[in-house]
Amino acid sequence: MDKGISKAVIRRMPRYYRYLGELLENGVERISSNELSKMMKVTASQIRQDLNNFGGFGQQGYGYNVRFLYDEIGRILGLTEIHNVALFGVGNLGQAIANYVRFEKLPFKMIGLFDVDKKKKGQIVSGIPIMMIDEFEDFNKTHRVDIAVLTLPKDAAMPVAQKLADLGVHAFWNFAHVDLEMPKDVVVENVHLSESLMQLSYNMTGR
Amino acid sequence: MDKGISKAVIRRMPRYYRYLGELLENGVERISSNELSKMMKVTASQIRQDLNNFGGFGQQGYGYNVRFLYDEIGRILGLTEIHNVALFGVGNLGQAIANYVRFEKLPFKMIGLFDVDKKKKGQIVSGIPIMMIDEFEDFNKTHRVDIAVLTLPKDAAMPVAQKLADLGVHAFWNFAHVDLEMPKDVVVENVHLSESLMQLSYNMTGR
């Protein structure tokens, strides 16, 4: 996993990607680190340091080629290929995430929605009929699932994740409020909403 | 805002809070840093260092009093008082977040839902009738809003946030894919779902 680039730098990459995408949309072809610095409210030296990690994208007196840098960061972030996504737990949050993934302009494709509630079977959400979780094993034989989204209750998340990992799913976007214990070759990205709320609450007390 | 505790420590606090809450639910009254270390997959020395920031909660040979530590961390995180929350943008994600806040056992209370779509006016979501955003100014005169949740499209988020800040809202939980530029006394906590997905995608490429 370690490609010699610090985690902190990697964490900042999506934000560069977003700003560069907006520049592209506005027809901007090149930008200096100073201009980017003003837009992003990050020092120009931080920008130069961050982007130097990926080789010489900037040229003295010219600045950065926006398209090149955007594509390069997209490549580094693994955004040059489509990732098939299946979602487990089609409650309110699951439905919202299914729609979210559908409408973002990122290369993630929702290909299956799974739940345990028989009443939901066949209901269409974001253009996809809901299937039962016990149908996933068969589904998985004919579909390549790159990422599983877990929008399940806490207690259901670990057993479902374990089953999916056994069936060969190696990446999880986990919204369940639990730390998944998974084999080393499995990648987990957590979105713990309550922790984010607590962070906000903490920051409010200091005012 | 700086209380002399590092941001990294503060970021880890909600996770301690979650584990201690689970211990309490299971009737555990005290725990050693070694036991907590095994549960949380963090070194015992990290735990001792983290918790030392908040004063002597642990006692040699006794370990930590779970209830005391839980309450103390809750106090530090600002979870001892109820925070009133209003949400702006009642689409799929907004509805999911409204339900989420309602059912979490945290002291955040959803008191208002606002949208610009006239067709939504009066519809009930999570027990609350949707109001129009231009009704907020009046609503705000009779209700104390501590936190605004922004589940709005990118282009709408900044103007709405500006208006709310002018009306005295000083904390934002922002799901819009944009960096809010706010006065220094305003607290913003971002949940950028697409950045989280990109992080996952990056980590997948290293496998």
For every residue of chain B, which 3-state class applies, written as one string? CCCCCCHHHHHHHHHHHHHHHHHHHCCCCEECHHHHHHHHCCCHHHHHHHHHCCCCCEECCCEEEHHHHHHHHHHHCCCCCCEEEEEECCCHHHHHHHHHHHHCCCCEEEEEEEECCHHHCCCEECCEEEEEHHHHHHHHHHCCCCEEEECCCHHHHHHHHHHHHHCCCCEEEECCCCCCCCCCCCEEEECCHHHHHHHHHHHHHCC
Measured between beta carbons, the chain B residues lying within 8 angstroms of A147 are 200, 204
CB–CB contact B170 A2 (8 Å): no
> Do residue A197 and residue B189 have CB atoms under 8 angstroms apart?
yes
Best B198, B203, B205 residue to mutate vs chain A (most A CBs within 10 Å): B198
How far apart are the C-alpha atoms of B96 and B70, rounded to whole Å?
A: 28
Q: Say what the pTM is.
A: 0.89
Would the ipTM clear 0.85, i.e. be above it?
yes
Distance between CA atoms of B62 and B59, rounded to whole angstroms? 5
Indicate the DSSP class of residue A77.
Answer: T
- Report the percent of chain A where pLDDT is more than 70: 94
Please give chain B's pLDDT, 207 residues, in tens: 445 678 888 889 999 999 999 999 999 999 988 999 999 999 999 998 888 876 655 666 778 889 988 998 999 899 999 999 999 999 999 999 999 888 778 899 999 999 999 999 999 999 999 999 999 999 999 999 999 999 999 999 999 999 999 999 999 999 999 999 899 999 999 999 999 999 999 999 864
Q: Is the pLDDT of residue A207 over 60?
A: no
> How far is the C-alpha of A202 from the C-alpha of B13, rounded, in Å?
10
Partners of A58 in beta bridges = A64
- Which residues, including other chains, have CB under 8 Å from residue A190's CB and lie 6 or more apart? A174, A175, A179
